[in-house]
Amino acid sequence: MTEKNCPYCEYDEFDIIDKNEFGAILPEHNPLSKGHSVIIPLRHIDSFFDVTEKERKSLSSLLELARNELKLRHQPEGFHIAFNDGKVFGDEQSGHFHIHIIPRYKNEPLKLDQRWGVTS
């Protein structure tokens, strides 16, 4: 099931970094660091707790693929991996569940923004 005006349902096929039967890896359109990507289920769901066991395994596999690809392409020191559950922190863009994988680089602090509930 897809939703109109959802960037994770209506993405450009050319943007896909990798894909399997239940999910895809896409570049984050508003990255916090070089290589910041998102792993999405192909089915439009709002919550991690609505993900089926097959989808969960699929997303986990894609997360590992994304990590390996980002290590090869960008050689980060590590990763920040996180997700919000449900419509929280003013995430107006989409209620589509997605997992962020954010490469971390030496001497580059991670500056979280309103997507993570951080306001200044």
Residue-level pLDDT at 91: 53
Residue boundaries of the structural domains of the chain: 13-116
Residue 109 has pLDDT above 80, yes or no: yes
Residues 8-52: tens digit of each pLDDT:
888 889 999 999 999 999 999 889 999 999 999 999 998 999 999
CATH architecture of structural domain 13-116:
2-Layer Sandwich (3.30)
Residues 49-74: tens digit of each pLDDT:
999 999 999 999 999 999 999 999 99
Q: Measuring CA to CA, which residue among 68, 58, 9 is closest to residue 37?
A: 68
Residue type, 92: E
The 3-state DSSP class for residue 114 equals helix
Mean of pLDDT values over 90-99? 73
Residue-level pLDDT at 117: 60
Looking at per-residue pLDDT, the higher value among 103 and 113 belongs to 103
Residue 93: pLDDT band (50, 70, 90) is low
Structure tokens at 71: 């290590």
Residue 92 has pLDDT above 60, yes or no: no
